[in-house]
Structure 1
Amino acid sequence: MSLPHHQPIRALLVSPEAGQKLRAEAARMAAWDLTPRQSADLDLLVGGGFLPLRGFLTQADHDSVLAGMRLASGALWPMPLALEVDADFAARVEPGEDIALRGPDGMIMAILSVTDKWSPERAEGAEMPGVAGPVCLGGPVKGLPGADEVRLGPNAWRARFRARGCERVLACDPADAAAGARLAAELGAELLTAGAEPRHAGPREALWQALVRRNHGATHLLLPADPAAQALLRQYRAEIGLELVEAGITQAHGM
């Protein structure tokens, strides 16, 4: 039986042949050494975990997300995700250029085609960490296949659910894993706690993590304890595409 959450989603990885060519070209590019969090974000971006994104946010998308939790296209996306770099590196890069993105091990993970470079003003809400870096770069990304494919990406999770014939996949925050495991057993569901690196960004983050977990193949979501986060998830549940479940209650909301 073919179910929507079993189907592969669009990833941003190039073929091994194209990757070999891009690695050779990267030797002539400016290279940014990613922070551990940036590296984790890029891993999800390239693997499809941040669908519908095709790269780091442009200035128009960044501003639209801050203002209304949507990309300039209108698609729901509540978290800014531009690439923040220091001023010295930014001075070496102009829109129209490609840059190499290096992981903590020095390996080239991806190529960013820079379309936008800007210095955002300090965000008013302190609950939005990381959105006011010295300089932001945006543009499409091409991910390069790596030798280490141990980490499970969204399509690997979907393949696992497909192989196991899982009709239901309950997602939750790792902190709620104990309650999630009990509910998953009641629902006859697989439990999924994979998600993005925490931002501590309040209700927006709960909405964002729901989208990321949907991209990993979730069908149900355990509501967090925070009432504001619950309200936001219920407000956007049709666009999230997940059935919302309260702790201790197996009847899903929004069915």
Structure 2
Amino acid sequence: MTLPHHQPIRELMVSPDAGQQLRAGAERLLAWDLTAAQLAELELLTSGAFFPLRGFLTQADCDSVAEGMRLTSGALWPVPVVLDVAAEFADQVEPGEDIALRGPQGAVLAILSVTDKWRPEGGGPPAVSGESSQPGATFGAVRLGGPVKGLPAVGDARNGPNGWRAHFRTQDCKRVLACDPADEMAAGRLAVELGAVLLPLKIAPFHIGPRAALWQALVCRNHGATHLLLPADPATQALLRQYREEVGLVLVEPEDATGL
């Protein structure tokens, strides 16, 4: 019987053949050059690390997440994953259109099918950090949402969630302990005590606070974690305990690591 954390998770990548076709057609599309932070989010999104997301959040999903940490589908998701673009760029885009998302040297990495275009209330702070590569852009003024199709590159060998899950399956790892990177030393010793392997996942959160810790827990689960060492912060502990059933991880108390 295959354990749940050994099973593949849904990615947002198309097949290599479909990727070639979409990449050829992307030459006719309006293209947005991603910032470094947006590149990092896109990689997590297309690899399945942001499951159950299917793309950048729509306005309704973004509002629902902000208010109650849930998508409109009811699925738990604590922080917005949105694509902020320049107002000058957004003026050229209408819902129902596709745009190309480009990385370094203009490589097309994904296609975004735009369903939503909106301005955050009060202008809103940019959802990502960094400067826009679009000439003369007023960055972060408008948000675009919709499903994303990732385009695999030739010879693309990704070690995302499914790479880790395949590794745990091959090694027959029944327990996988995740932790905040700051707690890695204590977690390593605790993993030995638990008969678990340590998931060395060092993904910096795009936000701070308890919601960010809940986000990290979901990302770790998607990478194949079964256990999570609780951070020391009481507010973060309370939030993780509140949603432990939906997160799907066994929570390990910090005192269990004391003295190891």
Three-state SS of the structure 1 residue aligned to 2:217 is helix
- Alignment match of 1:241 (pick from 245, 248, 255): 248
Give the secondary structure class of the aligned counterpart of 1:225: coil
The question of whether the paired residues in 1 share the 8 Å contact of 2:45 and 2:53 is answered with: yes
Which residue of 2 is the match for residue 96 of structure 1? 96
Tell me the residue number matched to 1:144: 151
Structure 1's 122 and 239: CA in aligned 2 closer, same or farther, altered over 3 A?
farther
Alpha-carbon distance between aligned partners in 2 of 1:246 and 1:211, rounded to the nearest angstrom = 18
Structure 1 unmatched runs, 5+: 251-255
Change (3 A) 1:105 1:164: farther
Amino acid at match of 2:167: R
- What stretches of structure 2 of length at least 5 have no aligned partner? 130-138
Deviation of 1:199 after TM superposition, in Å, equals 2.1
Contact 1:36–1:104, Cα closer than 8 Å, also in 2: no
Distance change in 2, residues 1:27/1:129 (3 Å): closer
Alignment of 1:59-138 (within 5 A): 59-122=59-122, 130=128, 133-138=140-145
Task: Name 2:14's counterpart in structure 1.
Answer: 14
The residue that corresponds to 1:211 in the other structure is 218
After TM superposition, the score normalised by the length of structure 1 is 0.92
Aligned to 2:134: none
The structural deviation recorded for 1:148 is 5.9
Which secondary structure does the structure 2 equivalent of 1:27 belong to? Answer: helix
Tell me the SS of whatever aligns to 1:93: coil
Q: List per-residue Cα deviations over 1:121-145 (Å, max 9, x = no partner).
A: 2599x9x964993111000000101
Q: Which residue of 2 aligns with 1:48?
A: 48
Instruction: Indicate yes or no: 2:186 matched with 1:179.
Output: yes
CA distance in 2, matches of 1:123, 1:129: 11
- Partner SS for 2:228: strand
* Residue identity matched to 1:141: V
**For 1:25 and 1:222, how far apart are their aligned partners in 2?**
46
Residue equivalent to 1:37? 37
Q: Does the Cα contact within 8 Å between 2:54 and 2:147 map onto a contact in 1? A: yes
Q: Report the Cα distance in structure 2 between the residues aligned to 1:14 and 1:129, rounded to whole angstroms.
A: 26
Runs of 4+ more than 2 Å apart: 128-133, 147-151
CA 1:122–1:242: 2 relative to 1, 3 Å: farther
| 1:50 aligned counterpart, secondary structure | coil
Identical amino acids, percent of aligned pairs: 67
Does the Cα contact within 8 Å between 2:96 and 2:113 map onto a contact in 1? yes
Query: Does 2:241 correspond to 1:230?
Result: no
- 1:39: Cα distance to partner? 0.7
